A and B are shown apart, each in its own frame.
Chain A
Amino acid sequence: METRTVQFRIYRYDPDKDAKPWMQDIALELESTDRKLLDAIVKLKAKDDSIAFRRSCREGVCGSDAMNINGKNGLACLTDVDDLKQPIVLRPLPGLPVIRDLIVDMTQFFNQYHSIKPYLVNHDPLPERERLQSPEDRDELDGLYECILCACCSTACPSFWWNPDKFVGPAGLLAAYRFIADTRDQTTSERLDNLEDPYRLFRCHTIMNCVDVCPKGLNPTKAIGKIKDMMMRRAV
């Protein structure tokens, strides 16, 4: 089988052993069937079992294997090795505390997601059948509900780096708009109140890094713009 050698530089940090993080240079033989970056990292781990990273579905729907790849956030399982300049530099997602190697502590990211109350609220008595929703109204959720919470976007956002405790960040705001846009949800006004704050929403300065890195092709900036519009309209 045809093989090729690929050069990697990987961020390493094990708090049990390392006083500070360091970069490891590794060369790896890959077979023609090893197409995705995740295939390569799994192979690296077979050689050195101390390399730590998260992974699960390997098809871009679970959101586990987000990392910083040659300076840009992305999912290892959706990235073609041969599209990357060598050495392939792998670092943990920026802006969050590193637990070990490529694994970051995502507590702040999830806290922000939880802070927007990401669940449908409807106070009407439950109907016997499904609530009705027109196909057009349902279309409003496209581009919003598909988020996989990988955190590529929020950890590419300078506003989130500076204020991860106060700024909801692109992923959380996309989720906020997903419920605002849902005709079945009755708490739009409370949802806007929850975001009316100098930091929570308005720290978005439309830098659009989130759009640039989203592995699902979603557009948090657009959703944030819609929330800002609604906020403005209700103010006048």
Chain B
Amino acid sequence: MAVAVRKFDAVIVGAGGAGLRAAIQLSEAGLRTAVISKVFPTRSHTVAAQGGVAASLGNSEEDHWHWHMYDTVKGSDWLGDQDAIEFMCRKANEVVIELEHYGMPFDRLDNGRIYQRPFGGHMSNFGEKPVARSCAAADRTGHAMLHALYQRNIKANTHFFTEWMALDLIRDEDGDVLGVTALEMETGEVVAFHARATIFATGGAGRIYHSSTNAFINTGDGLGMAARAGIPLEDMEFWQFHPTGVAGAGVLITEGVRGEGGILRNAQGERFMERYAPNAKDLASRDVVSRAMVTEINEGRGCGPNKDFVLLDITHLKPETIMKRLPGIHEISLRFAGVDPIRAPIPVVPTCHFQMGGIPINYRGQVVAPKSGSPEVPVPGFYAAGECSCSSVHGANRLGTNSLLELLVFGKSAGETAVNDLRMGRREHKPLPKEAIDRTLARLSRLENQKDGADVHETRLAMQRVMQKHAGVFRFKDLLEEGVTEIMKVADQVKMAQINDKSRVFNTARIEALELDNLIEVAKATMVSAEARKESRGAHVRDDAPDTPEHPDGRDDDNWIKHTLWYSEGNRLDYKPVHLDPLTVESFPPKKRSY
């Protein structure tokens, strides 16, 4: 099969916030840039972010990037890389102001400045009390941001390949990245995108879980492509369960609801967070709140006939405040919970939301992997940003509003680094290896000819159930061990997944089968990494690593302040040190986390 080759200076995979922010950098530098996206850019999942983007603008009270940095390090449970965290927090004001200049319709304070609201884990003066740091456009911040970024790209004449799915990373024998293969959905045609720089911004893989706030498209495509091409995945055991998904539906209710004064209550009407986090209460970090909720439910204080959810109460807020600051939540509650939140509390449960791990990058946005004894050597020609990447600014637990910040800061940073590398003439179009597209063609041909294989829908469901049961909010030694066996069984099924529809034109069955190849890599990485980390930290809390005086919160700082690296080939693990040294300030040494 002959495959057409298209040449660009840079190819960006993914048109969510990170991809679009990177694209602005490259297009405005005059480089020929292709952005490949499975969906029209404004349909990317950044659109669903609600509560805001963090920046220490200090518009309504005193704030400082150093306080933000402290909160982020603490939120990460000291697994975050402190150089990357300092970089992100220092850059926050710049990228948020830029976004305002692009036209983002932020809400405003009376003095005309950007409106800011409190958010979980964001405090003033190194953990003292909650601070208004989240810059918001009502509760539609992600929507407003994604549209503003897309609009800026229209102005910059970025070349979009919409409804194309990237299939595999192309690397040569030196390990350099030379682009990707991709499938045009409308025609079924496969094309090789040959580029001097390849940037992955493919988002998360929340669809490995059965109950998720994530969109259908969040299938970890970048992670699957990277893993198949020999790049390790970092810290994949850490998944954030957002405290407030609508019970049953999984749809997200922003933490901004609690930022505006919302309260979590159990079946007795008790504000239970006062017991778990006396200082920050409902605005403690997400892992802390989710565990508190599950504990309430497990101890019989859940609500409803099955006692399987808790209530998010905003009935004490003024209806005007709800309609002004939380109009989207009002709409979601009515449509998905059948509840008017002005009159009655919203039923919520912790729901899989965000992947802290991903493709390892440094704060310049370069993908890094171990090579000849050094843990972090840049992979030539390869960059990544956003949820698909691991910088690692979130460590073991992300703070709300740091994801929109991450995609702006590292989208820009990856774009800038790529522009510099191309301008300095460091990257030329290296010849495509003859076998560049073999992996892709083999996958497509296997799928085309598979007989007596496994049903894609059923296999995906089996994977999601394994993940939900074996790697949830609380983790158990036995379940983790079983989970590894179970997920490897599902992985064998995926290798035989079969589709009935063989049409060329807009074959979404084929797309879903190809997505499953990516999901399963992420699921394996998660399960294997989680089983191996024998401590509790951030979002990863296991029954055999309880809170003791020697190991506060079950954390084992002597042995486990290190990043996990999972390799698909051989299903093996490696580890690398955490960057405890920031760029300019003193390191924040580990201590017990309390809110």
A residues contacting B by CB (< 8 A) are: 14-17, 33, 35, 45-46, 48-50, 52-64, 78, 99-101, 103, 106, 110, 114, 117-120, 122, 126, 128-135, 137-138, 141, 145-146, 148-149, 179, 182, 184-185
How far, in angstroms, from A130 to B215 measured CA to CA in the complex?
32
Name B215's contact: one of A53, A58, A78, A103 (CB within 8 Å): A58
Q: Which of B97, B110, B152 has the most CB of A within 10 A?
A: B97
How far, in angstroms, from A130 to B112 measured CA to CA in the complex?
9
How far, in angstroms, from A80 to B175 measured CA to CA in the complex?
51
A62:B43 contact, CB within 8 angstroms: yes
Neighbouring B residues of A48 by C-beta, 8 Å? 500
Nearest B residue to A46 by beta-carbon distance?
Answer: B457
Q: Mark B447-486, 1 if CB is under 8 A from A, else 0.
A: 0000000001110000000000000000000000000000
Using A134-B112, A179-B103 as known contacts, list a sample of 14 further A-B pairs with CB atoms less than 8 Å apart, ordered by residue number in A: A14-B503, A16-B505, A35-B249, A46-B457, A49-B456, A55-B216, A56-B215, A57-B216, A63-B43, A64-B40, A119-B154, A130-B101, A130-B106, A131-B101
Chain A facing B: main interface SS: loop
Interchain Cβ contacts under 8 Å between A and B, 18 examples: A33-B248, A46-B457, A49-B509, A49-B512, A50-B501, A50-B503, A55-B216, A56-B39, A56-B45, A57-B216, A59-B332, A59-B336, A61-B48, A62-B47, A63-B43, A130-B114, A134-B112, A146-B143
Neighbouring A residues of B509 by C-beta, 8 Å? 45, 49-50
Name A130's contact: one of B97, B152, B331 (CB within 8 Å): B97
Distance of B147 from chain A, by nearest CB (Å): 7
B100 within 8 A of A: yes
Distance of A130 from chain B, by nearest CB (Å): 4
How far, in angstroms, from A210 to B506 measured CA to CA in the complex?
28
Name A119's contact: one of B57, B100, B151, B215 (CB within 8 Å): B151
Q: Mark B490-508, 1 if CB is under 8 A from A, else 0.
A: 0000000001110111111
Neighbouring A residues of B500 by C-beta, 8 Å? 48-50
A14 in contact with B335 given A119-B103, A141-B105, A182-B103 (CB within 8 Å): no
B244 within 8 A of A: no
Nearest A residue to B500 by beta-carbon distance?
Answer: A49
A49 in contact with B499 given A62-B48, A119-B151 (CB within 8 Å): yes
Name A120's contact: one of B48, B103, B111, B457 (CB within 8 Å): B103
Name B111's contact: one of A110, A119, A132, A146 (CB within 8 Å): A132
B216:A49 contact, CB within 8 angstroms: no
Interface size on B, residues (CB 8 A): 60
A17 in contact with B503 given A49-B456, A56-B43, A138-B107 (CB within 8 Å): yes
A52:B154 contact, CB within 8 angstroms: no
Neighbouring A residues of B215 by C-beta, 8 Å? 56-58, 62
Q: Mark B130-157, 1 if CB is under 8 A from A, else 0.
A: 0000000100100110010001101100
Neighbouring A residues of B248 by C-beta, 8 Å? 33
How far, in angstroms, from A117 to B217 measured CA to CA in the complex?
28
B residues contacting A by CB (< 8 A) are: 39-40, 42-45, 47-48, 57, 97, 100-103, 105-114, 137, 140, 143-144, 147, 151-152, 154-155, 186, 215-217, 248-249, 251-252, 328, 331-332, 335-336, 456-458, 499-501, 503-509, 512
How far, in angstroms, from A61 to B143 measured CA to CA in the complex?
7
Nearest A residue to B504 by beta-carbon distance?
Answer: A16
A63 in contact with B42 given A52-B508, A57-B47 (CB within 8 Å): yes
B152:A119 contact, CB within 8 angstroms: yes
Neighbouring B residues of A59 by C-beta, 8 Å? 48, 251-252, 332, 336
How far, in angstroms, from A59 to B39 measured CA to CA in the complex?
16
How far, in angstroms, from A52 to B113 measured CA to CA in the complex?
46
In the complex, the 6 A-B pairs of residues with the closest C-beta atoms, listed nearest first: A120-B103, A132-B112, A49-B509, A50-B501, A119-B151, A62-B43
A99:B505 contact, CB within 8 angstroms: yes
B39:A64 contact, CB within 8 angstroms: yes
Nearest B residue to A184 by beta-carbon distance?
Answer: B103
Nearest A residue to B155 by beta-carbon distance?
Answer: A119
A129:B97 contact, CB within 8 angstroms: yes
Neighbouring B residues of A64 by C-beta, 8 Å? 39-40, 43
How far, in angstroms, from A45 to B248 measured CA to CA in the complex?
21
How far, in angstroms, from A148 to B147 measured CA to CA in the complex?
9
How far, in angstroms, from A141 to B106 measured CA to CA in the complex?
10
Name B102's contact: one of A54, A78, A120, A134 (CB within 8 Å): A120
Neighbouring B residues of A182 by C-beta, 8 Å? 103, 105
Distance of B478 from chain A, by nearest CB (Å): 29
Distance of B518 from chain A, by nearest CB (Å): 16
A52 in contact with B39 given A57-B45, A114-B154, A182-B103 (CB within 8 Å): no
A56 in contact with B217 given A120-B151, A130-B114 (CB within 8 Å): yes
B335:A78 contact, CB within 8 angstroms: yes
A145 in contact with B105 given A46-B457, A130-B100 (CB within 8 Å): yes
Distance of B146 from chain A, by nearest CB (Å): 9
Neighbouring A residues of B249 by C-beta, 8 Å? 35
